[in-house]
Structure 1
Amino acid sequence: MANAIINTGILVGTFWQLGEILKGKPADPDKQTTIGLVVGHGPNAGGSVPHVAVWDRNGNRIGQYKGDENGHIDDSNTKTIVINNDQNGGKQAQPEYISVVMQETDAICLSAIIASGDSAQWTWTGDMGYTCGAQWYHSDFTIGSSNNAPRCVWLDSDHTNGIIAKGLSLHIRDFSGDPDLVKQYSEDQRRLCQNSARMTFQPEPIVPDSLIPFFHPPLEYERSSDGKNHGTNDPSSGGALKKPNQGIDRKTRAYPDGTNMHIHDTKRRHARDLTPPALPSNVKGLKNNRPDHLVISHKPVHSAKEVCEHPSSLGPDFVSTVEKVFCDMETGKWWPLCDATHDHDCFDLEHRTMKGPGPVRGGNQARSPTELLPEKRYKTHVEWN
């Protein structure tokens, strides 16, 4: 994916303090760490409970949660995990690094991760993965008191849904939303997206006990513990990075260099490349992992054109009634909704099917004389009001 301009509004608007949504509190906050995994509201978003590990600023492991082979996180829900600090001798520690690794085969679509410990709390959202080109889909789950619904990003242990990443590793400390830090990311996206220690969507061979990349030496920040920019007696405190380019180490964005972007030869092509790829049984067409389901959104924050054209989107067909557009995720093409202006070569929302044929034309790509309109029949649908 070519480097796109970072939407600073998205970056700033999706860093939240989300302690109010955590459903459990540690019995001993000095010797325990709390992690919240927020699953988006979308088709197939809920799934297996992953393994979670946390490390401190120096890359010393604090503790681990071993996952739950019989557990499940429903969509629009938060899984709150309390981890004992039993791998660092029970010491107080801030969970600066985190890894989330899928072990079971029911994929999840994560909207947010919250890490809390030793009086510190940081929040990462799925919009960060979207910004850097990870596989994503729209979500209708607003988090906390915010009106925004961050996109969710896909993780799966066996890639059977065409999902590349098995796990995600983060220096979650760097998702504080500090405006000086966000400004540095906006000035050079490599600092956010091509930095293995900061954020990496991990394919194979990551396993629950894998080590993740760390910053060596640890990062230093401009702002001291009193919040003033006058040098610092606490280089880990806050503000902009003293060395903003520290850790830039790869050419690809969300995924490591050398990642098989055609997992099992199933990774779909760019949305505008209509050459049919080979696909797993669970994925039909270009990027549709639930072909018998339709999502209809009445919210201006959701774009059918975007989910259709974006090279990393993955999910079922999508309608935006605000845009008056239907997205066919099997071809990466969008079509207008039928109305007084469009009475053929359009999507009939009432009957949830395509209406045609008419003159040779299309949505974002012109229809050739031999091209057929997509045949659409859905068993289920959902409306986001």
Structure 2
Amino acid sequence: MSESIGAVLGVASAVAPFIDPTGISILIFSIVTLMLSLAEHPHQPDSHRQTAFRIHLGLDSCPGQNLGGDIPDVRVWDERGNFLGRFLGDDEDVPAGDFFDFTIDLEKPHQPTYALFSANENDVCIAYITQTLATGERYSWTGQWARTCSKPWYYSGVVFDGYDDLACTWISLHHIDDKSVSGIQLHIHEFKYTESNNKSIDYFCAGNPTMKFYTESDPTEIDRWETRRPEDLNSTRGIVHVPGQPQDDRRRSVRPSDRSCPRSLHASRLIKSRRGQSASMLCADPASRGPDFVSYSEGLYCNMETREVLPLCDGAAGRVTGCFDDGGNIVKRSEVERGDVLDELGYDRVDEWL
């Protein structure tokens, strides 16, 4: 691959809202192809009755506690909607910015083409998911899709090929607001680039069985594409609902947490980045969620709760009010604007992405 993933992802993010989706469908699949070549995959399973996943987390929602996050529950089905197996991840805490590999034992030696990832107790932001089949086939999905489809996202802090703008997808067991996502369904092999695959962004973001973002708490059911006979390949595909498994009926409604983890994604945390991420773009996107953000490349500060963007204070340039003081982590207001001079933001944790 001679193209930079940064160039491809950057162009895709910039032009997606403005260009006819069919005009950039190949661009989107180029993104996925590059991800496949760059992202790490779990080892190939030893048994034909297993499939392997890797889930790489960006952020978690427990700032200051260094708890990482619960790996999502994962359920898999074959192409006809036969349930094949599940992995319950609520006992698997992974540090923010790290990944977790696991295998799922399959009830039948069928290809697991549908997967459902359901959030557990604390909210996590997924940078990417990769899958390795027993046959050695590899598939990949990136959290950049949440940003593309206007679902909750944030910068992941995960770097590929020097590109540091990669987004992650927030999933939450708890209903934080009307845009919260509790789970993601993937028909993951559709994200692999082929010359004949010319699907558009609208197709992927439509909420069909290829990629569906769930809002109800603890989803355990999926939709699948109707299987078609060869003579029906040119017809529109129907959608078939696949009910959950009996063992999932006894799953939790919402488990009480054994952590004092704040529910707000805007909790008292600040991220400062010397990379290329944009604070102004983060603040301007209504779908973004997460900590306040400083972009040194832009010289800007983003307050994610108020969506206010301020320049960094610079005494040499005479900018001492109406700005964010990077040394004290406070906003300096002018007395004309506000009755006070300083906004004490009270960050419990400040992380620097170098």
**Quick check: TM above 0.5?**
yes
Matched, 1:150 2:166: yes
Distance 2:69 2:324 in 1: 31
Q: Higher mean Cα deviation, 331-340 or 53-62?
A: 53-62
Q: Equivalent residues in 2 for 1:276-355 (5 A)?
A: 282-283=263-264, 288-290=265-267, 292-300=268-276, 302-339=277-314, 340=317, 342-355=319-332
Distance 1:35 1:149, change over 3 A: farther
Note the alpha carbon deviations across 1:236-291, whole angstroms, 9 max, x for none. xxxxxx76975799xxxxxxxxxxxxxxxxxxxxxxxxxxxxxx9733xxxx522x
For 2:353, give the aligned amino acid.
W
Identity of paired residues, percent?
A: 25
Structure 1 partner of 2:99: 78
Note the alpha carbon deviations across 1:98-152, whole angstroms, 9 max, x for none. 10112x3111111111122133211010001210011011111125x66455211
Greater RCO (CA < 8 Å, at least 6 residues apart): 2
Residue 315 of structure 1 and its aligned partner are, at CA, apart by 0.7
Structure 1 partner of 2:52: 34
Residue 173 of structure 1 aligns to a residue whose secondary structure is: helix
Root-mean-square deviation (CA), in Å?
3.5
Distance 1:146 1:349, change over 3 A: closer
Note the alpha carbon deviations across 1:69-90, whole angstroms, 9 max, x for none. 332121122111111121x2xx
Matched, 1:130 2:147: yes
2:73 to 19, 39, 51: 51
Residue 40 of structure 1 aligns to a residue whose secondary structure is: strand
Q: Is the 8 A contact 1:169 1:200 kept in 2?
A: yes
2:199 to 184, 187, 205: 184
Distance 1:331 1:165 in 2: 21
Between the two proteins, the alignment pairs up a number of residues equal to: 306
For 1:354, give the aligned amino acid.
V
For 2:126, give the aligned amino acid.
L
Distance 1:152 1:282, change over 3 A: same
Matched, 1:105 2:112: no
Structure 1 partner of 2:250: none
Distance 1:245 1:344 in 2: 60
Note the alpha carbon deviations across 1:325-381, whole angstroms, 9 max, x for none. 100112112011122153321111122211230676xxxxxxxx8999754232321
For 1:199, give the aligned amino acid.
M
Q: Is the 8 A contact 2:175 2:217 kept in 1?
A: no
Distance 1:105 1:112 in 2: 19
Q: Is the 8 A contact 2:90 2:121 kept in 1?
A: no
Residue 47 of structure 1 and its aligned partner are, at CA, apart by 1.1
TM-score by length of 1: 0.69
Q: Is the 8 A contact 1:14 1:148 kept in 2?
A: no
Matched, 1:172 2:172: no
Distance 1:130 1:245, change over 3 A: farther
For 2:313, give the aligned amino acid.
C
TM-score by length of 2: 0.75
